[in-house]
Amino acid sequence: MHYSLVSSPVLGFDLVRLRDGDSAAEVLLRALECGPREIAVLAARHDPQARASAWETVRRAVDNLPQITDVLHQVANGLKHDDFADEVSGARVEDGVVRVLQTSTIADADALVRLVHHDVFDWTWSTPLAGGPRLRTEDAGRAADVLADAAVSAYLGDRLPDHVRRVLAHPYLQAVRDLAPLPEQPAGLGPEQAGVARVLDTLRRLDGTDRACLRAVAAGGRPSAGEWASAVHDASWAVHLSDRVRTAAAAQLLAVRAFRAGGLDAADGANGLWNVVSGVVHAEVVADLLSSDARAVLLRPWEAAFGPE
């Protein structure tokens, strides 16, 4: 599976379950904020020789990274052939699935690289003529490499040796010193920015009671899978039709950072809390366009924990 800005909640689901996923989200937010000046600064730090060596190690780590579909298949086969399969309880199966969700990803590091080069940096590519290949400047390609390498360094985390992570992240960290800091709350979150900002601020400031409430809601108050999926589909369609794909992606990446800042972890993400958070964020991004029924479905768990705004 590939990551895309259109499916940013899926990307967020993987990032909140990775140890350094919030750092990867920060790099991607930086990539979304890039313009010509930022590209020049990032490209100047590109080190092709160092990254070529590092990527030999990355390739081995990518090959060993478990994918959700593969691991779930193994779990299913293990239960199927268990001598005590008839005695397996629903709770045991659910625990196994949650463990899988905590240790595997939907896509992989290659998908993250493609996301940076082709989705986030889509504006750097020329429009093909007469079916010819798309083209871009060398600086745009180098800048995308620097950003993608830093994102992969965080994405793979302790699956990489420390020195390899440093090689991958070093050009980005050097470039960032010459760039303006990322604002905690970017201004370009669309016409419904105030609603998105309220959700993110609440998430960042969670205390123990808040976390307990959210966990209880996620465990016991989920809408049916079909109802929730339909509402998310409606929100995603509204995002697409209103040309807010990049806006929604930025909001989801900010939510990843706020999720971690609020003390939530990989287990919370695997247990359904990310669905609550990403759903309400998506609903707020298109609050002016989403039907009242779909909006109510996505906001219901959040309002059960914190009350209506």
* Tokens representing residue 284 in the block: 């707020």
Q: Compute CA 200 distance to the chain's CA centroid, rounded to the nearest angstrom.
A: 15
- Contact yes or no for 165/153 (Cβ under 8 A): yes
Domain ranges of the chain: 8-65+105-176, 68-103, 193-306
Residue 67 DSSP symbol: B
Amino acid at 63: D
pLDDT of residue 91: 47
pLDDT digit of tens for each residue in the chain (309 aa)? 789 999 999 999 999 999 999 999 999 999 999 999 999 999 999 999 999 989 988 988 877 666 665 555 554 555 444 543 443 444 454 555 555 556 678 889 999 999 999 999 999 998 777 677 888 999 999 999 999 999 999 999 988 999 999 999 999 999 999 998 887 766 666 667 888 999 999 999 999 999 999 999 988 765 566 788 899 999 999 999 999 999 999 999 999 999 999 999 999 998 889 999 999 999 999 999 999 999 999 999 999 999 876
Compute φ and ψ for 4, nearest 5 degrees: -150, 160
Backbone angles phi, psi at 29, to 5 degrees: -65, -40
| Tokens encoding 157 | 């985390």
> Dmax over Cα atoms in the chain, in whole Å?
63
- 3-state DSSP assignment of residue 172: helix
H-type alpha helices, the chain = 8-16, 21-32, 36-44, 48-64, 68-80, 90-103, 109-114, 138-156, 162-176, 193-204, 208-220, 225-241, 245-261, 266-270, 273-285, 292-306
CB 290 within 8 A of CB 237: no
Which SS3 state, helix, strand or coil, does residue 308 take?
coil
Structural contact between residues 18 and 155, judged by C-beta atoms closer than 8 angstroms: yes
